Amino acid sequence: MEYRRLGNSGLKVSALGLGTNNFGERLDEQGSVRVIHAALELGINFLDTANRYGDGRSEEWIGKALRNKRREALIATKFARAMGSGPNDAGGSRNHIMEQVEGSLRRLDTDYIDLYQMHVSDPETPIEETVRTLDDLIRQGKVRYIGCSVFAAWKVCEAVWTARTLNMNSFVSVQPQYNLLQREIEKELLPFCRRYNLGIIPYYPLAAGFLTGKYRQGEAIPKGTRFAASPRHQRLFNEKNFSILARLERFAGERGHSVGELAIAWLLANRVVSTVIAGASKPEQITANLRAVDWKLTAEDVKEIDQTLQDKSI
């Protein structure tokens, strides 16, 4: 397993992480524990979850899986999305953060969180209040590092410079949507993270499963898949993307790999990416994803892939 520094911190995370947003939804407790143990055995140390995944079951089952194994894993969880219907049940206020961190610690059955991430930005709470509270949690030992997710570049910049100005702990990572088909972060967020040495942790590296190659143009969406359960992802189903997919499959196949492996290897070819979180419903999927970590794309490979993605004839 390859390990990389998480942004400007000294923490080393596995190049392939395990996403657990399917725990408690499409995967039961026994299956979740089995997947976590398989990931640990294969050298994966980065587990990504959130307080609301599976209505809290994701955190609970991670806690159960890590009994007597806590030092083998780095737990990254999140706060800020709504956890109820009350006026203080979401956001980045001191009140909400202090309440949610205790809930996550209890469900995870641990006394510290390795990476505590703000799931979404909060336009109503001053960023200074949020950063001060997260800094307090680090000083208290309840949290070791902090990061954010789904933040616009200017909001990450605001948080980083607020922390610097006040001499407080700052974000070490950002978790945005990033994959071969969805590259919006390359305009502003990725250059900012490169300049300030924040680690990128892409979610949906396989474009919610589109880049696995399991979907075919003109064919019915398989039942039980993410696309079947969430129609919002179906916007990826268009002629241009299916044409790109065919070219990427050909590129990967000529080199003895799958398009899913290519999707992960392409992300890892960018050194700003600290770890790629990929979900799994069974251990075999983790093994398959690990093949991508060993595939080191050359500069020429990346250039050819970019030309394929930018081909105006598609």
| Catalytic residue numbers, as ranges | 53
Please state the φ and ψ torsions of residue 248, each to the nearest 5 degrees. Answer: -65, -40
178/169 Cα distance (integer angstroms): 26
Contacts of 191 (CB under 8 A, 6+ apart): none
Could you give the 3-state DSSP secondary structure of residue 77?
strand
Cβ(13)–Cβ(3) below 8 Å: yes
Q: Which two tokens stand for residue 55?
A: 């209505």
Q: How far is CA 272 from CA 39, 40, 120, 190, 276, in A?
A: 23, 24, 21, 8, 11
How does strand 276-279 pair with strand 199-200?
unpaired
The CA angle 9-15-17, to the nearest 5 degrees, is 95
Q: Which two tokens stand for residue 206?
A: 């396989």
Q: How far apart are the first and last CA of the chain?
A: 36
Per-residue three-class SS string for 294-313? HCCCCHHHHHHHHHHHHCCC
262/258 Cα distance (integer angstroms): 6
Lookup result for tokens 């394929």: 308
Please state the φ and ψ torsions of residue 68, each to the nearest 5 degrees. Answer: 70, 10
